[in-house]
Amino acid sequence: MTPAELAQASNSAIYASMLVLTLAMVFFAFSFAAGRRKPAVVAAAEIVESEGSTAVITRTEVIDPFVPGRRSANIAMSLTWLGTALLLLGVVLRGLWAGRVPWGNMYEFSITAALGILVVFLGFSIKRDVRWLGIFIVIPALLTLGLAVTVLYTEAAQLVPALKSYWLVIHVSAAIICSGAFTLSAAVSALALVQGHAERKAAGAPVTGLTARMPSQERLQVMANRIIAFTFPLWTFAVIAGAIWAENAWGRYWGWDPKETWAFITWVVFAAYLHARSTVGWRGNRASWIAIIGWSTFLANYFGVNLFINSLHSYSGV
């Protein structure tokens, strides 16, 4: 393909992905709102048989929140897979067009970050049923893509010399996975707050309405905690890799540049989150708020520092 065709193909793939994701969003919304209000409880017991003896392993109650809306939820999940594949194609084509990793400016960071959000979610969905979470993932991914194609779009160009380093690949790929995982943890934490509110209102009775499709507040909090426990070391790694790169590029590993400062702030807030989870009186709603604040500091770093603050790291290309 010629460069112009590659460019065209990348843009088309990204627009197609946005279309498919929008459809996914509609189906997610429909599955959420459709059908009966009470979730079905399916009792499951796994039985291991071996000669002459029976072992019953872990009796669990599995709640299938999507008995009524199951079909649309499943369609939405398939569409999300398809949209993610198209987005991956768009990002790869963009890289081929530019002849380098597609992380040279904010447009490219943003389409890759949207990919990161979706991939982390889909990775999560392989192991557990998170269809109820889909809509809260597809919306931020679509917003990110929308912003990318409208405001941040730039033609592919050479990397500025400061970005020509294999540390770009290491540091930025870690940060992009973190962006997806932090978004996921913020979405789950926000839902935990909503569910907590619903549970308090129901005062012991089973919750009804839309939130009946979601796990209990406690389970949502545990889930957010797991995601952050996975993301925090990765973020620590991304910061360390950034410091090594800065040492190589500018002669100091830490200089309190605004970008570095906000990476540090995000790190400290999530460290506070992990402490809050083991502190009486903080592990509930307050911890959820801290997770949301942590994600906001990440966003502040990405949009605020890239676009509005004069930093050594200003590569927005806008």
Stretch that binds ligand HEM, among 35-43, 110-118, 270-278, 304-312 (CB under 6 A): 270-278
Name which of 274 and 300 has its Cβ closer to ligand HEM: 274
**Could you give the CA distance from residue 116 to residue 99 in angstroms, rounded to a whole number?**
21
- Tell which positions 205-234 bind ligand HEM, by CB under 6 A: 232
Backbone angles phi, psi at 298, to 5 degrees: -65, -45
Element (H, E) at 18: helix 3-33
Number of H helices, E strands in the chain: 9, 2
Name which of 182 and 232 has its Cβ closer to ligand HEM: 232
Find the binder of ligand HEM among 26, 34, 67, 271 (CB under 6 A).
271
- Tell which positions 272-301 bind ligand HEM, by CB under 6 A: 274-275, 278
Under the phi-then-psi rule, with left for phi > 0, alpha for psi from -120 to 50, and beta for the rest, what region is 208?
Answer: beta
Q: How many residues bind ligand HEM (CB under 6 A)?
A: 5
Name which of 211 and 311 has its Cβ closer to another protein: 311
Q: Give which of ligand HEM, another protein, none residue 5 binds (C-beta under 5 to 8 Å, depending on kind).
A: none
Measured CA angle at 136 (ends 75, 225), to 5 deg:
115
Q: Helices 217-250 and 258-277 meet at what angle, rounded to 10?
A: 150
Minimum separation from the CB atom of position 78 to another protein (A): 29
Minimum separation from the CB atom of position 318 to ligand HEM (A): 34
Asked if 127 interacts with another protein (CB under 8 A), we say: no
**Could you give the CA distance from residue 283 to residue 121 in angstroms, rounded to a whole number?**
24
Q: Which of 191, 214, 190 is nearest to 32 (CA)?
A: 214
Minimum separation from the CB atom of position 274 to ligand HEM (A): 4
Q: How many residues bind another protein (CB under 8 A)?
A: 67
- Tell which positions 251-270 bind another protein, by CB under 8 A: 251-258, 261-262, 264-265, 268-269
Start-to-end Cα distance in the chain: 27
Asked if 158 interacts with another protein (CB under 8 A), we say: yes
Q: Which residues in this chain contact ligand HEM in the complex, by CB under 6 A?
A: 232, 271, 274-275, 278
